Amino acid sequence: MRARINTLAHVAAFMTVLGGLGWLLMRGSDSLNYPWHWERIPDFIYTWDEQGFTPGPLLEGLWVTIKISAVSLLLAFVFGLVTALLRLSDSFVGRFLARVYLETIRNTPLLTQILVMYFLFAPLLGLDAVTSGVLALSLFEGAYGSEIIRAGIVSIDKGQWEAAHSLGLSTSQTYRKIVLPQALRRVLPPLASLAVTLVKDSALVSAIAVAELSKQGAIIVARYWLTFETWFTVAALYLCLTIPLSLLALMLERRIKVRS
Partner 1 sequence: MPDKDSCATNPRTGDVIVEAQGLTKVFANGVKALDDFSLTVCQGEVVVVIGPSGSGKSTFLRCLNGLEEIDAGRIVIDGVELNHSKKNRRAIRTEVGMVFQSFNLFPHMTVLGNINLAQELVRGKTRGDATDTTMALLDKVGMAERADSYPAQLSGGQQQRVAIARALAMHPKVMLFDEATSALDPEVIGEVLGVMADLAREGMTMIVVTHEMGFAREAGDRVVFMEHGAMVEQGPVEPFFDAPAHERTQTFLQQIV
Applying CB under 8 A, which residues contact partner 1?
157, 159-160, 162-170, 173, 177-178, 181-182, 185
- Of the pair 4, 259, the CB lying nearest partner 1 is at 259
**Which residue, 95 or 185, has its beta carbon nearer to partner 1?**
185
Residue closer to partner 1 (CB basis): 165 or 200: 165
From the CB of 32, what's the least distance to partner 1, in Å?
A: 57
Phi, psi (deg, nearest 5) at residue 143: -65, -45
53 bridge partner residues = 48
Closest distance to partner 1 from the beta carbon of 59 (Å): 41
Residue 120 vs 167, nearer CB to partner 1: 167
Closest contact distance (angstroms) between CB of 225 and partner 1 is 57
What residues have CB less than 8 Å from 226, skipping those under 6 apart?
37, 40, 41, 220
CB of 73 to partner 1, least distance (A): 24
* Residue with smaller CB distance to partner 1, 11 or 167: 167
138: nearest Cα among 88, 189, 96, 194? 194
Q: Which residues contact 86 (CB under 8 A, 6 or more apart)?
A: 94, 95, 97, 98
Residue environment code for 17-54, b if the CB has 16+ CB neighbours within 10 A, otherwise e? eeeeeeeeeeeeeeeeeeeeeeeebeebbeeeeeeeee
C-beta of 85: minimal distance to partner 1 in Å?
18
